[in-house]
Amino acid sequence: MTALEGKRFSKTSCRSQDAEHCMGKGPVRCAADSIDAGPPKPRAPTQPISAKSRQIPRRKNEHISICLKKDVCFRKTNGFERYDFNHKALPEVNLADIDISTTFLSKHLSLPFFIEALCGGSSKSIQINRNLARAAAELNIAMGVGSQRAMLKNPELTNTYQIRELAPAILLFGNIGATQLSELNTETIINMVQTIGADGLVIHLNAAQEMCQPEGDTDWRNVYFNIQRVCAQSPFPIIVKESGCGIDAETARNLASAGVACIDVAGAGGTSFTKVEAYRDKQNSQTFDEWGIPTAESLKRCRQSVDLPLIASGGMRTGIECAKAIAMGASLVGFALPLLQAAIRSHCDVVSYLLQIANDLKKTMLLVGAKDIAALKQVALLQLSSYAI
Ligand SMILES: Cc1cc2nc3c(=O)[nH]c(=O)nc-3n(C[C@H](O)[C@H](O)[C@H](O)COP(=O)(O)O)c2cc1C
C-alpha cells in the first residue's frame, strides 16, 4: 500500500481530533479546525487607514461570499474534453505501486497539486487560510496565499496570511497583483514575501477582472517591465499566473524572457472573476462573463512556446483532467474554488477532496499504463476536436 492509499484508508491519516472527516464522511466541522487552531482575529489598526485601503478587506469578504453563494463559473468548459487518452487494455501496472510524487522548483511534493491563491486580508480569510495550510501540510503539497496588497496597505492584517507555523515544511507562495508592482520597490516586495515565511512569489495578471471592477486598475502599461525588475532582483522564484482568463503563447514567451520561474496558466472553465465582479456591482454588464482562453488550450499554447515549468489551473475538477494536463506538459495542477468550498467547512474536507482527485489520477494512470509522473508525461493524448470549433 502506498502512502497515499494509506491516507485514504487509515484512520490515522487526519491528524485532527476528528479523523473521520478525511474519509469522505461529508461536511462536518473538524474539531482541530475549531479548537486547537484558535484563529487570531485581525488586529485593530494603530494608524489611520485610508478609505480606499479600508475597501480592500470588504471587497475580499465579498469575493468569498459571492463565490460561496452564487454560480460564478464559466459556461464554457476548461477544454480538456477535446482530448482523450488511448485506453490500455493491458496496462501491466499495479495501482498500489503508482507513484504520483513529483519535484517542483527543487522541492519534493507528495502529490502534483497546488492550492491556488484564494484569500488573506479579511476576517473570513483567517480560518480559510489556516484550513488550507493544515491540509497542505498533511498532504505535502504547494500552496499560495491570496493577494497581499491588503497587508501592505494595513500591516495589522499581516496575521490573516500567517500560516507558516501550521505548515512549516510546505512550498509556500506569497501573492501580489501585477499592476501593484509599479507602486512597490523590490525591497518592499521581498519583505512582504519573507514576512509570511514564503518560499516564492506569485504575481497575478487579472486585466479582465480589473476592467469589470468599479475601483479596478485600468492602466496596464509597464507591467512587463515591473515583472522583469522583480525577477532580476528577487532571491526567490517568481511564478506569474492569470486569474481565470488563461495565458497565450506570446505572453508566455515574454514572461520567460522576463525571467519568471514558472507560469500558471489559470485559464477559463472554472471560476469567472468577471462574473464575480458582475454580482458585486449590479451596474456591471455581463459582457465579459465568458472572457478567456480555456485552460487546456492555454496550457497547449504555453507548452509549445516556452521551456518553463507550467501549472494547469482554472476549472480543474477531476483526476482524469489532472492526468490530461500532466500528459500535456503541466508540472502541477492547481485548484481554487472547490478548495474554498471545502476549507470553509474544515481542513479535513480539503484533504478529503484532494485525496479523491489523487486516487482518480492514479486510476487514470493505471488505465494508460503510466506508473509515475515521468511516465505520464510521455503518454500521447488524442485530440478529438480543435478549440476553433
Ligand atoms: C474567492 C477567491 C479569491 C481569489 N483571490 C485571488 C488572489 O488574491 N490572487 C490570485 O492570484 N488569484 C485569486 N483567485 C483566483 C484563483 O487563484 C484561480 O486562479 C481561479 O479561481 C481559477 O481557479 P478555479 O477555477 O479552480 O477556481 C481567487 C479565487 C477565488 C475563488
Tell me which residues have their CB closer than 6 angstroms to ligand 1: 63-64, 67, 116-119, 146-147, 175, 202, 204, 241, 243-244, 266, 270-271, 313-316, 335-337, 340
Residue 236, phi then psi, degrees to nearest 5: -125, 165
Ramachandran bin of 140, using left for φ above 0, alpha for ψ from -120 to 50, beta for the remaining angles: left
- 3-state SS, residue 142: strand
Q: What phi and psi, each to the nearest 5 degrees, are found at residue 241?
A: -130, 160
Per DSSP bridges, beta strands 332-335 and 381-383 are unpaired
Give the atom of ligand 1 at the shortest distance from the alpha carbon of 317.
26
**DSSP 8-class letter at 141:** -
Q: How far is the CA of 41 from the centre of ligand 1 (A)?
A: 23
Which residues lie closer than 8 Å to 368 by C-beta, 6 or more apart? 85, 86, 87, 88, 91, 323, 327, 376, 379
From the alpha carbon of 270, which atom of ligand 1 is closest?
25
Look up residue 179 and give its three cell numbers: 499592476
Residue 389: how many other CB atoms lie within 10 Å? 6
CATH 3.20.20.70 fits 66-383, yes or no: yes
Residue 58: CB atoms within 10 Å: 11
Please provide residue 7's backbone torsions phi and psi, each rounded to the nearest 5 degrees.
-60, -35
Q: Which residue's CA is the closest to the ligand 1 atom numbered 4?
A: 118
> From the CA of 197, how far away is ligand 1's center (Å)?
21
Q: Give me the tens of pLDDT residue by residue for the chain, a chain 389 residues long.
A: 333 433 332 333 343 433 333 433 344 345 445 433 445 554 444 555 666 667 888 889 999 999 999 999 999 999 999 999 999 999 999 999 999 999 999 999 999 999 999 999 999 999 999 999 999 999 999 999 999 999 999 999 999 999 999 999 999 999 999 999 999 999 999 999 999 999 999 999 999 999 998 889 999 999 999 999 999 999 999 999 999 999 999 999 999 999 999 999 999 999 999 999 999 887 777 899 999 999 999 999 999 999 999 999 999 999 999 999 999 999 999 999 999 999 999 999 999 999 999 999 999 999 999 999 999 999 999 999 988 74
Give the total residue count for the chain: 389
Cell of 256: 520567460
In ligand 1, the atom with minimum distance to the C-alpha of 315 is 25
Please spell the DSSP secondary structure of 144-189, one letter per residue. Answer: E---THHHHH-GGGGGGT--GGG-TTS-EEEEEEGGGGGGS-HHHH
CB-based contacts of 75, cutoff 8 Å, min separation 6: 289, 290
Angle at 277 between CA 276 and CA 281, to 5 degrees: 125
